[in-house]
Each structure stands twice: as C-alpha cells, then as structure tokens.
Amino acid sequence: MGLLSLGTPLDWEDAVQLADHVREHGVEQFLSLWRHFKDRSGDPMLWGDELEYMIVALDRQRHTARLSLRQSEILSCLKEATGDFRDVSKPTFHPEFGRYMIESTPGQPYSSNVRDLLKVEKDMRLRREIARTHLKENEIPMTLTSFPRLGAVDAPFTDPDYEANGVSSRSLFLPDDLINKHVRFPTLAANIRKRRGSKVCINVPIYHDKNTPSPFIDPLIPYDRKLFPEDVEAKLGAARPDHIYMDAMGFGMGCCCLQVTMQAYDVDQARKLYDQLIPITPLLLAVSAASPVYRGYLADVDCRWNVVSGSVDDRTCAERGEKPLKEEGPLHNSQTEPRRLRKSRYDSVDTYLHPDAPKSDNDLAVEYNEKVRDRLLAEGLDPLMAEHIAHLFVRDPLVIFSERIDQDDETSNDHFENLQSTNWQSMRFKPPPPGDQIGWRVEFRPMEIQLTDFENAAFSVFVILLSRAILHFGLNFYMPISKVDVNMQRAQLRDAIHTQKFFFTSCQAPCDSSKAGEREIKEFTLTELFQGNGTEQMPGFVSLVRQLLDTMQLELEERQQLESYIDLIAARANGTLITTATWIRHTTPKSVKN
C-alpha cells in the first residue's frame, strides 16, 4: 500500500525540483533510526501476512463477473465490524491501488510458536467472512492475482462501467475511475508517466494455440484514438506483435499478492534472513504461479512479476538504454544527471546485505547514489548497508506532499519511507519506525496469492518454517545474485514447474555439518530443490522444514495440520498438484482462449 500521507500532492514538474531535498533528509532520517536502533536486540520472531482481495460483482443471470468499485464504502463498513474474536484478534482492512481491492492483515502479529502457526488459516477464513458480510449479495471477496478481463475493450469489466479517458493514466484500456481516490494513487500514476516521458509499456508474450494468428496483432487495441498525445505510442511500436500490450500502472498494481513480514531478534539476524531468503524468492514465485490471463488473452507466462515491474517503470529512454545519455541531459530541468538504470523500481533484489555474504556473489553492477553512500559511510555504516540504502536512493521520489516538505528528521521518517516504499523489490529490509514498539523486519514479497485460505495459509506458514529452519540450522543458500535474476525470469514462464531448472547452491545442508562439502552452483528442478535429490548435501526444503518440526514437541493433530501445509507445497513443487495458473488455463472458457 505504501505511505498514505494526507495533503496536497505536487505536480511532477514541482516535485522533481525537491527530489534532492527528499533524498538529503531521507538519509538523515534513516541515520536517526540507525543510531537509535542499531544495538536493539531481543525482539521475538513476530510475523504477519498481507492478503489482498478483489471484490467481484457477479451477474448470475447474464453469467458475467465485474470488478466492484466500492472500496471506500466497504472499508467504511469494515471499520465498524464486530464479531467473535475470542481466539484471534480483530483483523484490520486497508485500501489498495484499485478501488476493487482490499488488503487484510491480522489484528495482532503472530508469534512463531506452533499455536499461532495453527491459527493462521482460521484467521484468514475469518477475515474473508468478515469482508463477505459487508458486501452486497452479488459480491464476493476473491483472492485472485490478476483479473482475467482487466482492460478488455469488448465488454465492461468494472461495476459501474467507465470509459477509458482518464488524465492520470491516459490509458487506452483502463479508466482512472478504478484507481483509489486517495490523491497519492492518481498522482503516482501520473508522475510515473511524466517522469518516464511516455506511458508505461508492458508486453506479455501471447500464448499460441492452433487458432492463434502468427504473428498475433491485437485487433482490439484502439490504435486510432486521438484523445491524448500518448495515444500514438501503440501504433508507433509500443504494442509488439505476438504480445499482450498494456499501458497503465493499474495493470500491475491492480494485481493481488501474498506477502509475509517477519520481525528479527536484531539487525544482524534481519540481514541474515534477508540474504538467505533472496535465493528462495523465485522458487516460491514459480510454485505459487497464479496469473496466466491479461486483457482477456491467455499469456505464455504464469506470473504477474514482469507485469507489475513494467507498470511502475518510470525510467526515461536514456536510463533504459534506449538512447545515449548525452542526448537527454538533466532530468526535467533538475540537477539529476541521467544514468543507466538496469531495472525498474519494482524488481528483484540487487545486493546481499549481511557481512558474511561472499563478495563474489554480489556480482551485479549496482547503481548507487554516491552522495548518500558517502554520507552513510562517514557515519560509520558498513559498506553493504551503506550501498543498500544508496541503491534505494538512486530513484526519485514520486509523490511529495506540500505540507510534508519540511520535517523533523529526528522524529519523522516520511522522506525515508517515500523512497523505501516505492522501491518494490522481491525482499524488503525494514528498519524500525520511530518509537520503540517494532524491531528490525524483513518482508518476503514475490508470492502470488492463491484462491483458498488453506493455500494461502500453507504458503505463509511454509515461509515462516523455512525461515526458522534457516536460523536454527545455520543454512547457507548464498549464490551469485545474477543467477537469482535468471531464476526470476524462468519462474514466470508457462508451466515452469515442469519445464525449467533453477540455479542453486549444490549444498542445502547445515553449514556446520560434514555434509556441507564444496559448494557449487548448479541447475536443479523444483522437485530436487524442495524434496531433495537423494544426497545428504541436498535434502530439500521440505525435509529441512520437517527436521525443524522434529525438534519441537508437537501433538499429533498439530503435526498433521502442519504436514498438510507442507504436503501442498511439496505437491506443487513436484507437479503432482497443478499450480493455480495451470488450473486457470484448464478452466478458462474456450471462448476466451486465443
């Protein structure tokens, strides 16, 4: 959701002039947090999940499903929700980018003990039921990663229906009316477009069956619209042959996902967890794959990741490497000189963070804000932490509120969060906010949301158990981070479970045992990674989690419930249970298929 400040957002032309101000004070705010919390320790491993729902309005007579744009009314009702909260705390509900989206979180964080792990599914069911009781009779809260007909032009896909003519996105397909009315969101969409110098450009490969023309040229794109100057972009090449073309932030930030945030014992443990979970991110993206349809077309990918990445890609042509840097000059008359930026601000992690990380594994040419890096090093931060923050600060702030320009850097972290919250990476390292209630945290961000509460509980609990196994056994999953990038792309491909291999260290065994041996980076199937390859060096994540459970004193029913979650992950990874994406492909009506 990001930082939801109240106030008057600046137009991009004014905001860009204050980019250096936000960065300068943002780094001072981080330093204030660092000084206050760097020695904090003793925090328990609390955690929570974030579930995102799409509110879908069904017309059972006409057999149609549309996105209900009643977010604000529904959230108003949910604030007053009552019920039986004896076993779980009252959950909380939050707005998201789309007016058809609602985010839910547990009312209080879970602990990592068994009792709380067993409450997760019940808590998720309760949240869905609470949401359902405040909807219209024909509305349902769906945990669906991408709405298959979002942006379709041959029939309405929202309730009510609106024309795609909004000034913020200027999309050929999506109306601005589906964007959350909080001023942050339309401003974010507009400023991404303005900074980039064009609309965002998303092209997802089309799935070719026997009836798909080759090349596929989308006949439903309104190439001849002349409402905005950007309307010519599709005709001039933005819409690629054999691809599904999308042109707005809503196509990505209108997707739903499942995220898990964990509190660590101290900053060192948080850095360790952050690093060890980075190689896991593409693997659980593949296993949770759930989004194979865009704008009514079947895609040749199963995941949302690159769609979301493209939907917030605010890089200019020169920053993307599409024209020489010298031709662009300072960005929009600011003092920001252009530089190559290899990735969108929504993408996979670029650097490991713990001092134990092998230098050779941080093998990407990462961009830094040199001024920020030097400031942090001068304050005594180690190079990895300084470079992590300086890498975030290579971006411009996208939304600045006039009322929040001047802040007390010792008591506020808004400028820091402005940049932190708009760097959407596969993992997020989260310092404590001002105050003393919350510790150092890491957020696991790649997973696609699943259709049922059982599945979402299984993925959430598995992440926590694997994280505990990493810490308990001292597991070492370091590998060149460039190979993690390769894995992220492979994970999104259609039926990656069966068709792809993934780079990983050849030894998953605890690093303090004789099983560690010589580590090599090899390619493995997901079956091998999750269930082992028959060697002591590669027991598989499932076996490691079960070894962790063996160290606990569990009742039979407790172990059985946890095993049901582990069995689901194992079955998805080895292909005996199809992914949500494959299920959607199999159940997509033939009239919708290509």
Cα 506 from Cα 575, distance rounded (Å): 22
Across 170-179, average pLDDT: 98
Cα 498 from Cα 590, distance rounded (Å): 24
Cα 33 from Cα 37, distance rounded (Å): 6
Of 110, 121, 112, give the one whose Cα is nearest residue 458: 121
Q: Cβ distance 248 to 189 under 8 Å?
A: yes
Residue 511: pLDDT over 90: no
Which of the pair, 436 or 584, is modelled with greater confidence?
Answer: 584
Residue 327: pLDDT over 80: no
Positive or negative, the CA dihedral 577, 581, 582, 584 is positive
Q: Angle between the 267-277 and 453-473 helix axes, to the nearest 10 degrees?
A: 120
Residue 408 has, within 13 A of its CA and on its CB side, a CA count of 3
15 pLDDT band (50/70/90 cuts)? Answer: very high
Query: Strands 64-68 and 158-159: what pairing?
Result: parallel
Q: How is 241-277 classified by DSSP, letter by letter?
A: TTEEEE-STHHHHTS-BEEEEEE-SSHHHHHHHHHHH
Q: pLDDT > 70: what percent of the chain?
A: 94
Domains detected in the chain: 31-357+426-583 (3.30.590.50)
| Amino acid found at 15 | A
230 token code pair: 């950007």
Helix, strand, coil percent content, the chain, rounded in steps of 5: 40, 15, 50
588 pLDDT band (50/70/90 cuts)? Answer: confident
Q: Angle between the 120-133 and 453-473 helix axes, to the nearest 10 degrees?
A: 150
pLDDT tens sequence across 212-239: 999 999 999 999 999 999 999 999 999 9
591 pLDDT band (50/70/90 cuts)? Answer: very low
**pLDDT score for 90:** 86
**pLDDT score for 89:** 77
Among all chains, which residue has been given the structure tokens 């994970």?
Answer: 491
Residue 515: pLDDT over 50: no
**pLDDT score for 61:** 94
pLDDT tens sequence across 520-572: 999 999 999 999 998 989 999 999 999 999 999 999 999 999 999 999 999 99
**pLDDT score for 336:** 61
Q: Angle between the 453-473 and 541-550 helix axes, to the nearest 10 degrees?
A: 80
pLDDT tens sequence across 68-87: 999 999 999 998 766 656 66
567 sits in which H/E element: helix 556-574
**pLDDT score for 4:** 54
Q: Cβ distance 264 to 273 under 8 Å?
A: yes
Residue 314: pLDDT over 70: yes
For residue 259, the tally of other CB atoms under 10 A from its CB is 20
**Three-state SS at 7:** coil
Q: Cβ distance 183 to 4 under 8 Å?
A: no
Q: Angle between the 556-574 and 453-473 helix axes, to the nearest 10 degrees?
A: 100
Residue 155 has, within 13 A of its CA and on its CB side, a CA count of 10
204 sits in which H/E element: strand 202-205
Cα 303 from Cα 221, distance rounded (Å): 23
**pLDDT score for 516:** 43
Mean pLDDT, the chain, whole residue set = 94
**pLDDT score for 325:** 85
Q: How is 354-371 classified by DSSP, letter by letter?
A: STTS-GGG--S-----HH
Residue 261: pLDDT over 50: yes
Alpha carbon separation from 23 to 187, 251, 339, 384 (Å, rounded): 19, 29, 17, 19
**C-alpha dihedral over 250, 254, 257, 260, to 10 degrees?**
70
- Backbone φ and ψ for 419, nearest 5 degrees, come out as -85, -40
Residue 203 has, within 13 A of its CA and on its CB side, a CA count of 12
Which of the pair, 283 or 591, is modelled with greater confidence?
Answer: 283
Cα 417 from Cα 354, distance rounded (Å): 22
pTM above 0.85, yes or no: yes
Residue 338: pLDDT over 90: no
Across 233-261, average pLDDT: 98
pLDDT tens sequence across 369-427: 999 999 999 999 999 999 999 999 999 999 999 999 999 999 999 999 999 999 999 99
